Amino acid sequence: MTRSERGPAGAGAASIDVGGRPRRFPRSPPGRRIVTKLGRHEIHALEYGTGSDVLILLHGLSGSSRWWRRNIPELACSARVLVPDLIGFGRSRANGRLPAIPEIALLLLDWFDSLELASACLVGHSMGGQIAVHFAADSPHRLERLVLVDSAGIPRKLSPGALLRFAAEVGPLWRWGDPSFLPVIASDAFTAGPRVLARAIRHILQDDVRPLLPKLDVPTLIVWGERDMLVPLGDAWEFRSLVPDSRLTVLRGAAHNPMVDRPAAFNRILRRFLDDEEIGR
């Protein structure tokens, strides 16, 4: 069951510094809020644009739909853009046990069906990329294109020490790039809460997508921040080597969130890929 409502009007305009980067993170642009009931869960999403192409943006660990604010206005000029809060994050609170990564991918398919989406272009960042890989492996006929942005899914050895090290690496906000984005990261992490974050980290580290990658049968672009200190650039090349006929683009100067750190370049790359232009290597 799905219901919708008009979101808050008015988007905050960000000022620009001499380097071309906004000094503060913008407010969410006005959009239509869609709430979809899936069993005991509700998925809250924002919808923008009215194009025939459908573009879905999945955020990463401790994130929300807010992470795509710098990308939505341009992308929605030529596509219908749907930006969900994944279960456990943002407005989509976890009711009971937090689903594992493959389970979230199956719930995402139910969400497609509820919204009557025959197919879409799926963009997944970090944990969202990991979910997108499972979706693409399970339901390739529902995807036109796949974009993996600094994707998780190549796990480290799981142990209590590994969990602590991973949490310690994720924790320092300076590792996440653009300082104007840090209040959003902190706010979204607080909303999710430590229990959800700990379970999500465990789910991420327990799930290895590498066996799925050679089976992917959808045009795939891999986008990575050159200075990613959370998911190393070496993982990008491993994704590139395992996903058939995939392409890789590395954004200079970007950290783990290239869509935030270099939004204009990210949007341009994404639009070119969606327009079937040759891109990456």
The answer to whether residue 204 scores a pLDDT higher than 60 is yes
What pLDDT was estimated at residue 34? 96
Domain boundaries, the chain: 27-274
The residue type of 234 is G
* Listed range (19-28, 42-51, 158-167) with the worst mean pLDDT: 158-167
Query: Using one digit for the tens of pLDDT, what is the confidence trace for 262-275?
Result: 999 999 999 999 99
**Sign of torsion over alpha carbons 264, 185, 121, 210:** positive
Judge residue 62's burial from the number of C-beta atoms within 10 Å of its C-beta, 0-12 exposed, 13-18 middle, 19 or more buried: buried
What is the distance between the alpha carbons of residues 277 and 280, in angstroms, rounded to a whole number? 10
What is the distance between the alpha carbons of residues 178 and 25, in angstroms, rounded to a whole number? 9
* Listed range (138-142, 166-170, 228-232) with the worst mean pLDDT: 166-170
CA 140 to chain centre: 18
Which CATH number is correct for 27-274, 3.40.50.1820, 3.90.1300.10, 2.40.70.10, 3.30.70.20? 3.40.50.1820
What is the distance between the alpha carbons of residues 8 and 21, in angstroms, rounded to a whole number? 25
In degrees and rounded to multiples of 5, residue 46 shows phi and psi of -115, 140
Write out the H or E segment, with its range, that includes residue 197.
Answer: helix 194-206
- Crossing angle of helices 127-138 and 101-114, rounded to 10°: 70
What is the distance between the alpha carbons of residues 220 and 215, in angstroms, rounded to a whole number? 12
The answer to whether residue 45 scores a pLDDT higher than 90 is yes
What is the distance between the alpha carbons of residues 117 and 110, in angstroms, rounded to a whole number? 10
Query: How does the average pLDDT of the chain come out, rounded?
Result: 86
2 falls in which pLDDT band (50, 70, 90)?
low
280 falls in which pLDDT band (50, 70, 90)?
confident
The answer to whether residue 216 scores a pLDDT higher than 70 is yes
14 falls in which pLDDT band (50, 70, 90)?
very low
